[in-house]
Chains A and B, each alone.
Chain A
Amino acid sequence: MGSTSAEYDGTGGVGRRDLIKRSAALGLISVPTMSFLSACASSGGDDGGEKAKAGKKTAKNPLGVNETAGMEFVLFDGGFGKEYAQDAVKIYEKNFPEAKVKFSATQKIQSTLQPRFNQGTPPDLIDNSGAEQMDMGVLVGKNQLADLTPLLDAPSYDDPAKKVRDTLRPGIVEMGQFDGDPVWIMYYAYTVYGVWYSQKALDSLDEQYPETWDQMLAVCEKAKKKGMAGWTYAGKYPYYLPFSLYPMIAKVGGREVLDSIDNLEPNAWKHPAVKTCFEAYYELQQKGYVLKGTPGLDHIQSQTAWAQGKALFIPNGSWVENESANVIPKDFDLAVSAPTGIDSSDKMPFGTIWASGGEPFVVPAKAKNGTGGMEQLRIMLSEASSKNFTSKVKSLTAYNGGTDGITLTPGLKSGVAALDKAGENVVNPRIQDWYVQLQKEQIGVSGLGEMMAGRLTPAEAIKKIQGFADAAAKDTSIKHYKHQ
Chain B
Amino acid sequence: MQHGKYRFIVGFLALPLGLYALFVVWPFIQSIYYSFTDWTGLSPEFKMVGLDNYRRMLDDEIFWKSLQHSLIFAVVLPLVTISLALFFAFMINVGGRRRRGGPVISGVRGSSFYKIVYFFPQVLSIAIVALLFAFAYNPDSGAINSILRGIGLDSIQPLWLGDPDLALWAVMAVLVWSTVGFFVVLFSAGMASIPADLYEAALLDGANRSTTFFRITLPLLWDTVQSGWVYMGILALGAESFAVVQIMTTGPGGPDYSTTVMVLYVYQKAFRDGQAAYATTIGVALLVVTLAFAALVMRLGRRERLEF
Contact = CB atoms under 8 A, between A and B. Distances in A.
A32 B157 CA distance: 37
Interface in A1-21: 1-4, 6, 8, 10, 13-14, 18, 21
Interface residues of A, number: 77
B250 A38 contact: no
A297 interface: yes
Contacts of B160: 296
A106 interface: no
Nearest to A11: B302
Given A1-B308, A37-B280, A301-B140, A21 B34 contact: no
Nearest to A21: B227
Contact of B23 (A31, A33, A138, A440): A31
B274 A134 contact: yes
A363 interface: no
A26 to B, nearest CB: 7
B40 to A, nearest CB: 5
Contacts of A4: 223, 305, 307
Contact of A26 (B272, B294, B306, B307): B294
A405 interface: no
A38 B280 contact: yes
Nearest to B221: A1
Contacts of B129: none
Interface string B226-245: 01001100110111000000
Contacts of B183: none
B164 interface: yes
Contacts of A21: 227
Interface string B260-277: 000100101011111110
Chain B interface size, under 10 / 10 to 19 / 20 to 34 / 35 or more: 35 or more
Contacts of B122: none
A296 B138 contact: yes
Contacts of B294: 22, 26
B249 A236 contact: yes
B223 to A, nearest CB: 6
Contacts of A144: 42-43
A135 B161 CA distance: 28
A1 B256 contact: no
A259 interface: no
A291 interface: yes
A284 interface: no
Contacts of B145: 293
Interface in A23-59: 23, 25-35, 37-42, 44-46
Interface in B185-237: 190, 193-194, 220-221, 223-224, 227, 230-231, 234-235, 237
B95 interface: no
Contacts of A123: none
Contact of B39 (A41, A293, A298): A41
Given A1-B194, A1-B308, A41 B276 contact: yes
Nearest to B304: A10
Contacts of A291: 140
A309 interface: no
Interface stretch (B25-33, B108-116, B173-181): B25-33
B239 A298 contact: no
A2 B308 contact: yes
B15 to A, nearest CB: 14
Given A40-B41, A120-B44, A34 B223 contact: no
Contacts of A3: 193
A323 B191 CA distance: 52
A23 B21 CA distance: 12
Given A27-B24, A33-B286, A446-B257, A441 B220 contact: no
Contacts of A42: 30
Interface string A91-116: 00000000000000000001000100
Nearest to B135: A301
B238 A29 contact: yes
Interface string A270-288: 0000000000000000000
Nearest to A236: B250
Interface stretch (A72-80, A246-254, A449-457): A449-457
Given A10-B305, A14-B298, A441-B254, A292 B42 contact: no
A31 B24 contact: yes
A-B pairs with lowest CB-CB distance, top 6? A44-B44, A293-B139, A29-B238, A35-B27, A296-B162, A135-B274
13 contacts: A6-B307, A13-B302, A25-B230, A33-B266, A118-B43, A135-B40, A235-B250, A295-B159, A301-B141, A444-B251, A445-B256, A449-B254, A477-B275
Given A1-B194, A31-B23, A35-B31, 18 more contacts: A4-B223, A4-B305, A23-B20, A29-B239, A30-B27, A32-B238, A34-B283, A117-B43, A118-B44, A138-B42, A235-B250, A236-B162, A291-B140, A293-B138, A294-B139, A294-B140, A296-B140, A296-B159
